[in-house]
Amino acid sequence: MSLSTTSGFRLLPGRLSPAAQAALLEEVAAGLADAPLVRQATPGGKLMSVAMSSFGDLGWTTDAKGYRYEPRHPITGRFWPQIPTILTDLWRELADPEVPPDACLINFYDADAKMGLHQDKDEADFRFPVLSVSLGDTAVFRIGGLKRSDPTTSVRLSSGDVCLLAGEARLYHHGIDRILPGSSRLIPGGGRINLTLRRAAAA
């Protein structure tokens, strides 16, 4: 089964040059110094293997009360750092020329982390795409369809790759099966960072 581009899924391999990746990584590291990565628990009480933080007006959080967007970091209580301009520029070019993203989720995967099949549906308006940027080790990304039981395709996301979940694919199930440790030298100590730009609140 191959993933139709008419679904609204778009992969732009190597969209960010090595220099742009390094510059973005520096901005992410500066943001994480202010809003540290946290391993959060699902509403069901399971600790996620991915460590997370956010940039923007809203950040994604999860705890016993559920999944939601919050204006402040769950541990520090501070507002989230601003979304780096490299990312808002990409959004303007590839996602929406007028309405800016108000959330950028930061996921850090170590060699053992993964993310189960899910839909991104905590946002107010699915007309806006999710724009994803990958840095560091390659990930084995799985994407299916609107139904959890739909057939899935495996796509590798490498450092500098950008992908869009737009149109019908905006609500396709997706997840990360595994990381390929040692596949990139961008992040000191290894691992993968995924950044997803979103419009969480109504525009």
CB of 150 to Fe ion, least distance (A): 16
123: tokens are: 């946002």
Residues that bind Fe ion (CB under 5 A): 120
> Which of ligand AKG, Fe ion, none lies near 107, with the C-beta cut-off 5 to 8 A by kind?
ligand AKG
Asked if 176 touches ligand AKG (CB under 6 A), the answer is: yes
Q: Flag whether 195 is marked binding.
A: yes
Q: Report which DSSP code applies to 77.
A: -
Site string for ligand AKG, 48-87 (x = CB under 6 A): ----------------------------------------
Question: Can you count the helices (H) and strands (E) in the chain?
Answer: 2, 12
CB of 46 to ligand AKG, least distance (A): 16
What number of CA atoms fall less than 13 Å from residue 90's CA on the CB side? 27
Task: Say if residue 114 is exposed, middle or buried (CB neighbours under 10 Å; 0-12, 13-18, 19+).
Answer: middle
CB of 29 to ligand AKG, least distance (A): 18
H-type alpha helices, 35-170: 85-94
Asked if 9 touches ligand AKG (CB under 6 A), the answer is: no
Asked if 132 touches ligand AKG (CB under 6 A), the answer is: yes
- 92 contact partners, CB below 8 Å, separation of at least 6: 100
Residues that bind ligand AKG (CB under 6 A): 105, 107, 115, 120, 132, 139, 141, 157, 174, 176, 194, 196
